[in-house]
Amino acid sequence: MNVTPDQRARELFEATYGYAPLHVESAPGRVNLIGEHTDYNGGFVLPMALPQRTAAALAINQSRQVRSVSEQLPRAVASALDAPSGLRITFQDYLRAACLALAEKGQAVPGVDIAISSDVPIGSGLSSSAALVVATLRALRSALGLGYTDLGLAKIAHRAEHSFVGVPVGVMDPMACSLAVPNSALLLNTRSLEFENVAFPPELELAVIDSGQRHEHASGEYRARRAECEEAAAALGVSLLCELGEDAMERVDVAALSPKLRARVLHVLSENGRVAAAVDALRRADGERLGRLLAASHASLRDDFQVSTPEIDALVETATAVVGCLGARITGGGFGGSIVLLTRKGKAADVAREALEKSALRLAHLEPRVVVPLSSAESQA
């Protein structure tokens, strides 16, 4: 039987600091079913919680320092709460950012000892960083007796990652890691932050394959897509592209935009419409329609938004060709990461495994693996 992240974080804490943590909290990673690059454009998204989680074992240390350790970096590191981030973003920057975002809200953190354990793949488009920040904030909420709701913590987590770490992510990731529940998709309006849990039909099943191609949200290409969307919105006279509505390509003067910006707008508006259609398909348990929406989303992300890669395209094409796959697409910010695919109940593991086997030569330089469904050994944890 596997040991859970909560248990591993507790054991790592005790081995590192010589005493037991007072609080252990965790948060799941997420896979975005559909609604990609719509969150920072004021649109709708439809993420789901992963079974994999990140755990934070924590105690207050009164030192004005964050002393931290993780399974990947098993030697404890101490840094001042207000220390600037280095040239390379580390997991300690996310921990400090969580503390600083709380301090900005008027809740000073006197310093913490913290140990991190996680099953969420890093750099795979599955919100490992948001799970880390939300888990840390949950532990701080318990340690400091704070009254923040999960929605409130999600907002603080977004502020931590966006403003204090400096990674330009949208609000979807912390909202999903904080609010998503098992066996449901989180329908989130990223403008109003209204949300609803939509039941995932038991007749259907998802698989997630990590391609092994790592991405960086702080990379120039992700920032460039945000800047392009902002430029297009300004040219069209709106604050956020999704204020335009799905039919805007016929209504507004898109001729004023460059071909590249028109393509970006087309993706954002069509993807926003696909979220509503996907929710309807979920409620009707219409797997064929949902699969077609996933395929259309991938094509748009590949051709109009240009965030896919040849390796990801190969994996999606191979998965889609496997008998039993209803549809597949890249998930997450892009430029590597993971794909999500849809099957009938009980077929996801076999389809994902066959997709990996048939993609082996084209992904030989990577280390792809099935993340969901969990293997039988993992499921017993």
- Number of other residues whose CB lies within 10 A of the CB of residue 82: 10
Q: Which of 6, 93, 113, 173 is catalytic?
A: 173
Residue with tokens 């907002």, as numbered in its chain: 155
The answer to whether the beta carbons of residues 213 and 226 sit under 8 Å apart is no
**Is the previous residue joined to 373 through a cis bond, with omega within 30 degrees of 0?**
yes
Residue recorded with tokens 């082996």: 360
Classify burial at 88, counting beta carbons within 10 Å of its beta carbon; exposed 0-12, middle 13-18, buried 19 or more. Answer: exposed
- Residue 21, by phi and psi: left (phi above 0), alpha (psi -120 to 50) or beta? beta
Q: How many other CB atoms are there within 10 angstroms of residue 262's CB atom? A: 16
CA distance 349 to 276: 27
How far, CA to CA in Å, does 243 sit from each of 21, 47, 88, 272, 280?
47, 21, 35, 11, 21
d(CA 157, CA 20): 26
Instruction: Report which of 10, 338, 9, 26 is spatially closest to residue 178, judged by C-alpha positions.
Output: 26
Is residue 313 part of the annotated active site? The answer reads no
| 189/207 Cα distance (integer angstroms) | 25
Active site residues: 173
